[in-house]
């Protein structure tokens, strides 16, 4: 559900980092009339040139100060690992009343790395649109990316209510359903629904690519048996994922430990021919799929 028949929410939105998510949001904000003007900053001049060429922003610059001048909303859409540096750089440029949000997949890192750099009267509303594709760069974005998806906001205790309401409304207007939760809880839930699956997919595809050349070509040929789904996940942006793992280390390592224990148990059942244990386990996992279908997330 996209609403276009209401007044713009923001005068000037500055998006920092014009990759898949940044450029999708830029498109949506302009197309749905959510912002009067959308500009972007990116340290890569080629990305800026591309964004202008695509016509998705009014201005694109490598100069943060130029992009942020007059912005009432700043959206950080760079890899999570850059947040401390970006926070330090934008802090002095922000005027009172500006709202700062982000789209990072780890949320405690936003509060930790951006929060301390913001002057009084600037409102931080960390956000995570649970949406994406395995493609990267400004040309990979599209305005409908967020439709029917969740966006999780993790404001700190005492965050400005009006700022929260405006960021919530922005995501609602691009088609998302907003959920508000604590940053630490977000990081734990996403560690299992997203971070661990990506780590596993990256691992298995790496294992396959280390096989002898002739076997590897057959792995590609017969990839439809399950492997193919993993390669799609494992084609996601390497820098973005490096930063996610490094910045959600505790939660990822904790869930990885549980996963490894469970895998070892299944491995042992296979080795010792314990058919009943295997069948019981495989029957139980069917029920989880059922839950996802019932929750209309399939």
Contacts with a copy of itself in 196-215 (CB under 8 A)? Answer: 196-211, 215
> Does 1 engage in binding with a copy of itself (CB under 8 A)?
no
User: Could you tell me the two tokens for 2?
Assistant: 């996209």
> Does 119 engage in binding with a copy of itself (CB under 8 A)?
no
Q: Which of residues 9-68 bind a copy of itself (CB under 8 A)?
A: none
262 alpha-carbon distance from chain centroid: 28
Answer whether 96's CB lies under 8 Å from 122's CB: yes
> Does 254 engage in binding with a copy of itself (CB under 8 A)?
no
> Does 89 engage in binding with a copy of itself (CB under 8 A)?
no
Candidate ranges 7-15, 95-103, 114-122, 192-200; the one touching a copy of itself (CB under 8 A): 192-200
Q: Which pairing describes strands 35-41 and 10-16: parallel, antiparallel, or unpaired?
A: parallel
Count of residues near a copy of itself by CB under 8 A: 90
Q: Which of residues 211-240 bind a copy of itself (CB under 8 A)?
A: 211, 215, 218-236, 238-239
Q: Which of residues 127-186 bind a copy of itself (CB under 8 A)?
A: 130-131, 134, 149-150, 152, 179
Answer whether 146's CB lies under 8 Å from 2's CB: no
Q: What values do phi and psi take at 212, rounded to 5?
A: -55, 155
By beta-carbon proximity to a copy of itself, the closer residue of 11 and 254 is: 254
By beta-carbon proximity to a copy of itself, the closer residue of 96 and 284 is: 284
Q: What values do phi and psi take at 180, rounded to 5?
A: -115, 130
How far is 61 from 42, CA to CA, in rounded Å?
6
Least distance in angstroms from the C-beta of 13 to a copy of itself: 25
The runs of H, that is alpha helices, within 155-237 are 161-173, 183-190, 196-209, 213-221, 227-233
What letter would DSSP give residue 94? P
> Does 85 engage in binding with a copy of itself (CB under 8 A)?
no
């Amino acid at each position: 559900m996209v609403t276009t028949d209401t007044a713009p929410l923001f005068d000037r939105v500055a998006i920092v980092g014009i990759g898949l998510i940044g450029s999708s949001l830029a498109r949506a904000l302009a197309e749905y009339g959510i912002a009067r003007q959308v500009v972007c900053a990116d340290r890569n001049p080629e990305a800026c040139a591309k964004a202008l060429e695509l016509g998705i922003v009014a201005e694109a610059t490598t100069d943060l100060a130029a992009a942020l001048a007059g912005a009432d909303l700043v959206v950080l859409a760079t890899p999570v690992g850059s947040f401390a540096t970006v926070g330090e750089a934008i802090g002095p440029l922000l005027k009172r009343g500006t709202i700062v949000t982000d789209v990072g997949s780890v949320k405690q890192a936003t509060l930790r790395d951006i929060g301390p750099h913001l002057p009084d009267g600037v409102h931080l509303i960390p956000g995570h649109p649970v949406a994406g594709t395995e493609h990267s760069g400004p040309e990979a974005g599209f305005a409908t990316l967020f439709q029917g998806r969740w966006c999780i906001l993790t404001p700190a205790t005492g965050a400005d209510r009006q700022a929260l309401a405006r960021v919530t409304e922005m995501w609602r207007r691009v088609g998302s359903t907003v959920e508000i939760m604590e940053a630490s809880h977000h990081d734990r839930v996403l560690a299992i629904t997203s971070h661990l699956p990506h780590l596993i997919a990256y691992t298995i595809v790496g294992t396959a690519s280390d096989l002898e050349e002739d076997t590897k070509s057959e792995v590609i040929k017969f990839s439809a048996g399950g492997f193919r789904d993993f390669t799609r996940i494992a084609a996601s942006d390497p820098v973005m994922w490096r930063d996610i793992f490094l910045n959600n280390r505790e939660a990822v390592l904790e869930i990885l430990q549980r996963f490894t224990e469970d895998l070892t148990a299944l491995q042992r059942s296979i080795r010792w021919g314990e058919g009943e244990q295997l069948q019981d386990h495989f029957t139980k996992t069917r029920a989880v799929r059922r839950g996802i279908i019932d929750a209309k997330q399939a």
